[in-house]
Structure 1
Amino acid sequence: MPIAEDPEPRPSEGSEPGGSDPSGAGGKDPFADLVLDEEFIKAASVKEQSGRTRMLSARWKHTPPVDPGGRRSVNDGPAPKRRFGRKPKLQVVDPWGNPRPARRRRGLEWRTPLFIVLTVAVLLAALNVDALRTWLHGGADGSSAKAYAPVPTVAPETARPTSAPSKAPEEQPTLAHPWAGSPAEGWPTSMDAFGPKDAPDAIGVFSAEQVAAQVKLVKDYLAAANLDPKVIAGARPDAALAMLSRESQGRIGATLDKPSKEQDPTLWFARFDPREAIQIGDSAKVQGLITVEGDGDKGVLVHTDFTYVYALRPGPDAAKAPGSAQPSTKASQAPQDGTAKPVGLLVPADDAAGETWTTRTIVRRQQDFRFYDPARYRVDRAKLMVDKSATDIGNSACDVYDGFLHPQFDQFAAPGPDSTGPRSDPYDRSHDLPTTGGGDCGTVSRF
């Protein structure tokens, strides 16, 4: 029933049976039979946004989000090409999508240039190991790395020189440069380079061809006795002995069987004990002269005057050789260029460092060989008869008669009194050698 405050009739509360229209219009409620089950919720065309979505939508109205990169959709087009296969760096963002500054590790900025420098140093060292060793032993300023200029080639002699060879700059010979400071560097290495000044003529009963064959036999003997690498390494010189006559073979061979001061094999053969000294390479340097003359009824006389120079590196027992100091008590003496290598660091092996100190031994021999007339004397014309011989040896221990030469290495030199003998130049070929031995042990002015 209408009242004064509510002139319009109130709608029905819809509690009537059958679900009457709440507006009072008398129609049926359209939502009366609606059931809000799971199927209805999934089929809804409009869904309520979550609280986070509404919050971000409100924030992005004022502050649009920033694309951090690396996140692409199908609408972004093809991805850009990467250089060298590197992956793009992802930018760090906070939970709201804002870029966050990356953390920098303090104290690590110096490592990159250091790694670059170390890598370059290792590569350079690998390319030139010997130069690195020389730099380490000679100082950081590289004072030991000196320019090395080889001497020019020297032709065989055609006449006896009137003076000694000019002095070369004094340098310590090493495994890399075993002929440094020696005038023999440019000398020949084979007896084939030598011969008489002129082609030999017929002499006495011998034709020119026979004299040439005699000269060749002498050269073969000198090579077998003084240039054979096996003989230099200590082997018995059987090939050289086989070229001698029976008389000469018995006399010279006895020096090898029982070496002594009176019978010294080094006066005939160049042999080194491989435990003390080892030849560098397979060749020695040689310089000299061959002359031929007739000797009347006695036949032909072949004069030889040769100097042999041997470059040597220390063997495993070089420090124990005669005249050497023990490694525990003696350090190497420093040369003028400051490249001293202590004894304890020396490695006497085939792959020893290029700066390992070496030495040289110089042997000069003047020997005459006689070829008798086979019609007058009972001789074998294919054999050599040694008539005279004189030998001078530079850089070998004195008073040691075991059949071997004993060179002295500077890094193993033993301290002691100066030698009382004369000081001589082993390269001086301008004078004859004395035919008698003996005297005090002298010194050489160079080697």
Structure 2
Amino acid sequence: MPDDVWDRFVEDSEAAIRASAPKEPSARARMVTERLRQQDALAAREAKRRGRAAKAAARRPQAQPEVWRAGPDPFAEEVRRPRRRRGLGILGVLVAVAVLLVALNPGAALSWFRGGDRADSSGPGPLALETERPTAPPSEQSFPGRPTVDAPFAGSPAERYAEGAAGIVPPEAKAVGWMTREQVATSLKQAKAFLVSGNIDPSTLRGARPEAALALVDPRQGGIQSLYDVAFKKPDKKHDPLWIASRFDPSEVRVLGNAVRTRGRMTFEEGEHRALAVHADYTFVYPLIKAEGGSREVARTIVRRVIDFEVPDPTRYGVTKGMLYISHYNQEMSNSACYVDDGFLHPEFGSDARTGARATGAPVDPYDRSRDLVSGPGEGCRRSSRT
């Protein structure tokens, strides 16, 4: 290598080494560098914390509240406190209204509190339909007054009962057992027709045989058919037409204006062997006046009937398709002479001496639909606490 080339190589190498040699940073530069490093570390930790929180939120089930299984949420507690204060304010208003109702009508209000029949309310118009069993009788204080020719139901809960057949409303039908919805609806209408014919039809009330009702009973149910064949021809203690029909002796009394008030309910379900089982529980109130001319005194007789029908499958049992089968019946007659086995109800007027045997046992409220009817000899004719 020529000497001049070697000399240039040595000079260039020394310059490069001096340029690339490490230099000691100043104190200010070291401070700036440390501050930047700390800021970078803080930012990294914050990003890492947010990442963990996002992953936890993603894992949390969205269908549940945020504090599900996590204990009380202090922020949720702060939100609830104002609503609790509002709830206390509403409660105070309700208490004030309740006190006012008790002051204005104590009888009705106390009956509401014990869950009585809505017949306790004194508002105008008929009651809503009875869809379930009442829990208590209607209050006597809610119905002042006495019956008159112009107001035969005054002084009784029947003031707000439905009129006649309008008080018998079958429930909405649905398919049950072997029967379609349409077949069930037909049977429910038949059950209503049976009750109307036996307890509301003017000709039946005047003592006629309830042909429409008996025509709905399965002719293959021989025991029932023979019983009522005798009962309506020659009634006696063992063959009483009053077991299914309300009848009055037209020579003795008449129903005032053919008016009848009705209250009750009808239900159905699937019975044994997939048969349709219909349960009817109705109270009928009859205002009566003496048949003799000029009488203005009004008496009321109350009849409550509980009757069960069945509609078995005619392809499996010896029954007639489209007919009702009576499986059970019971009745209670109030303000009617007991044990007069002539097939008629005999209302008792205040101005008359009692006829027939006196009713026995503790008095019962004939308008109390919250109780069961008792069965047994003499139980269907008991003293009434009111009419």
Report the TM-score range of the alignment, normalised by the length of the smaller protein.
Answer: 0.5 to 0.7
Matched-pair contact (CA < 8 Å) for 1:196–1:292: no
1:300 corresponding residue in structure 2: 276
Which deviations, in whole Å up to 9, do the C-alpha atoms of 1:230-257 show, x marking residues without a partner?
Answer: 1101112222211111123323332222
1:400-415 matches, within 5 Å, as 400-414=340-354
- TM superposition shift of 1:192: 4.6
Q: Which has the larger radius of gyration?
A: 1
- TM superposition shift of 1:204: 1.3
1:48-447 matches, within 5 Å, as 152-167=125-140, 168-197=142-171, 199-246=172-219, 247=221, 248-316=224-292, 347-348=294-295, 356-414=296-354, 420-439=360-379, 442-447=382-387
Matches of 2:208 and 2:385, distance apart in 1: 30
Aligned residues: 262
Matches of 2:355 and 2:207, distance apart in 1: 28
Give the % identical residues.
39
Matches of 1:420 and 1:384, distance apart in 2: 34
Matched-pair contact (CA < 8 Å) for 2:336–2:347: yes
Matched-pair contact (CA < 8 Å) for 2:338–2:358: no
Which deviations, in whole Å up to 9, do the C-alpha atoms of 1:152-210 show, x marking residues without a partner?
Answer: 3112200010111121444331112111101111111243553355x222111100111
- TM superposition shift of 1:380: 1.6
Amino acid paired to 1:195 = V
- TM superposition shift of 1:361: 0.4
Matched-pair contact (CA < 8 Å) for 1:395–1:444: yes
Amino acid paired to 1:284 = V
Which deviations, in whole Å up to 9, do the C-alpha atoms of 1:345-393 show, x marking residues without a partner?
Answer: x813xxxxxxx22011000000000001011012222221110000000
Amino acid paired to 1:347 = G
Matches of 1:216 and 1:357, distance apart in 2: 37
Which deviations, in whole Å up to 9, do the C-alpha atoms of 1:227-282 show, x marking residues without a partner?
Answer: 00111011122222111111233233322222112222111100000111101112
Matches of 1:226 and 1:241, distance apart in 2: 13
- TM superposition shift of 1:410: 1.1
Amino acid paired to 1:359 = A
**SS class of match (2:302):** strand
- TM superposition shift of 1:443: 1.3
Distance 1:423 1:280, change over 3 A: same
Amino acid paired to 2:236 = S
Matched-pair contact (CA < 8 Å) for 2:268–2:276: yes
**SS class of match (1:219):** helix
Matches of 1:440 and 1:374, distance apart in 2: 34
Matches of 1:442 and 1:315, distance apart in 2: 25
Matches of 2:166 and 2:225, distance apart in 1: 24
Matched-pair contact (CA < 8 Å) for 1:203–1:211: yes
Would you identify which runs of 4 or more consecutive aligned residues in structure 1 move more than 6 Å?
Answer: 415-418
Distance 1:150 1:204, change over 3 A: closer
Matched-pair contact (CA < 8 Å) for 2:338–2:356: no
Matches of 1:185 and 1:306, distance apart in 2: 16
Distance 1:244 1:186, change over 3 A: same
**SS class of match (1:254):** helix
Structure 2: runs of 5+ lacking an equivalent: 1-121
Matches of 1:426 and 1:276, distance apart in 2: 23
Amino acid paired to 1:442 = R
- TM superposition shift of 1:416: 11
Matched-pair contact (CA < 8 Å) for 2:204–2:247: yes
Matched-pair contact (CA < 8 Å) for 2:136–2:368: yes
Specify which structure has the higher proportion of helix.
2
Matches of 2:346 and 2:356, distance apart in 1: 17
Matches of 2:232 and 2:244, distance apart in 1: 10
1:6 corresponding residue in structure 2: none
Amino acid paired to 2:306 = Q
Matched-pair contact (CA < 8 Å) for 1:421–1:440: no
Structure 1: runs of 5+ lacking an equivalent: 1-148, 317-345, 349-355
Distance 1:311 1:418, change over 3 A: closer
Matched-pair contact (CA < 8 Å) for 1:155–1:188: no
Aligned-residue Cα RMSD (Å) equals: 2.4
Matched-pair contact (CA < 8 Å) for 2:198–2:213: yes
